[in-house]
Homo-oligomer: A and B are copies of this chain.
Amino acid sequence: MASNTFGNLFTLTTFGESHGAAIGGIIDGCPAGLELDLDAIQQELNRRKPGQSDIVTQRKEPDEVQFLSGIFEGKTTGTSIGFIIHNTNQKSKDYSHNVNVYRPSHADFTYDKKYGHRDYRGGGRTSARETANWVVAGAIAKQLIADISINAFTSSVGEITISKPYQELDFNSIESNSIRCPQTEIAEEMIQHIKEIKKHGDTIGGTITCVAQNIPIGLGEPIFDKLHAQLGKAMLSINAVKGFEYGSGFCGTKMKGSDHNDAFNKDGTTKTNLSGGIQGGVSNGMDIYFRVAFKPVATLIQKQETIDSEGNVVEMQGRGRHDPCVVPRAVPIVEAMTAMVLADFYLMNKTTKI
């Protein structure tokens, strides 16, 4: 019920504003006895953190996670795992000009109307800083379902799109460039494009593709917790996401059934995989793949006209340190949410049969 909680059995509940003392969360339902690699968790956070390269925001935040409970002698105890990430770089004065201003295509207006009272500093609770919490929980989920491999990567920036199917890409090269695109010649184009966009104080959208492999058959709970429906909800929870498609996706709408059906091999695998590894809401053991659409970041380093809470027209300009393109830093977030969904269904699937 609580809208700050994600998941059914493996759950994450979070708190925190961008300019409060700290953000953090509580992971509940992680089975006991899981030996945790804490460095691997911090490593995921480092992939998300600002300041990694010259195409992302230059804010400096160490984003160090501290675990407060649920882990004893290096292993989970089955009790809730509390964690905290201190905010070390809040410059509240940076945002004083925003007190009553509704930034276009942000949540300022809707939060003000919904709640009547809001923390306007840096977007408050709506800041993507929140997703650091998700990366922590996702990193633990990854360790829980260690046999499954999850790889997300940038598949387009603006009009620039990878030209190869994922099967021809080397996921090991995702981290080799700052845009996190495994087709390296395209990656270079994307990076140049973002730099150009950034020069004008503008921003650009993009897509991320995620591939989950070595999936057990049977994950997903029909009717209203279909695997792809929950993946979709997870992705649409990420800031700036405008769309989700899996398997053949929107392209599939143009196909005939005779072309779209995935014929079986004798062993139950399928010759094609337009289903995207999910049939009837349940994994069939083939690769799960999906694509997530990110809009351009709304904060521009340009002048914009907007209104304040009294309806006065005011001029504003984003200052400081913002991402010209959200996509590279969103890659680990997509992976984290995917891992949480799969871990949750992995646990739920344990009670399916007597």
Which residues on A are within 8 Å of B, measured CB to CB?
1-9, 11, 13-17, 20-26, 28-29, 31-34, 66, 68-70, 72-73, 75-82, 84, 102, 104-107, 109-111, 113-119, 124-126, 130, 144, 156, 158-159, 197, 202-207, 217-218, 220-226, 228-230, 232-233, 236-237, 242-250, 252-268, 270, 274-276, 278-284, 293-300, 302, 304-307, 311-313, 347-354
Q: Which of B105, B156, B197 contacts A253 (CB 8 A)?
A: B156
Considering the chains assembled together, what is the distance between the CA atoms of A16 and B72 in angstroms?
12
Q: Does A246 lie within 8 Å of B250, measured CB to CB?
A: no
- Specify which chain B residues have a CB less than 8 angstroms from the CB of A255 in the assembled complex: 158, 204-205, 295-296
Known: A205-B252, A256-B203. A68 touches B351 (CB 8 A): no
- Specify which chain B residues have a CB less than 8 angstroms from the CB of A223 in the assembled complex: 3-4, 14, 80, 125, 130, 237
Q: Does B21 lie within 8 Å of A68, measured CB to CB?
A: yes
- Specify which chain B residues have a CB less than 8 angstroms from the CB of A197 in the assembled complex: 256
Q: Does B110 lie within 8 Å of A282, measured CB to CB?
A: yes
- Specify which chain B residues have a CB less than 8 angstroms from the CB of A24 in the assembled complex: 68, 82
- Specify which chain B residues have a CB less than 8 angstroms from the CB of A16 in the assembled complex: 68-69, 80, 82
Q: Does A81 lie within 8 Å of B15, measured CB to CB?
A: yes
Other A-B pairs, 7, CB within 8 Å; known A1-B29, A14-B223, A24-B82: A20-B69, A32-B353, A77-B125, A111-B280, A242-B250, A267-B311, A347-B351
Q: How many copies make up the complex?
A: 4
Most B CB within 10 A of own CB, among A8, A221, A295: A295
8 shortest interchain CB distances as A-B pairs? A107-B280, A15-B82, A243-B245, A203-B257, A3-B221, A205-B253, A32-B115, A2-B28
A90 to chain B, nearest CB (A): 12
Q: Does B31 lie within 8 Å of A264, measured CB to CB?
A: no
Q: Closest B residue to A271 by CB, please name it.
A: B104
Q: Which of B84, B109, B125 contacts A84 (CB 8 A)?
A: B84
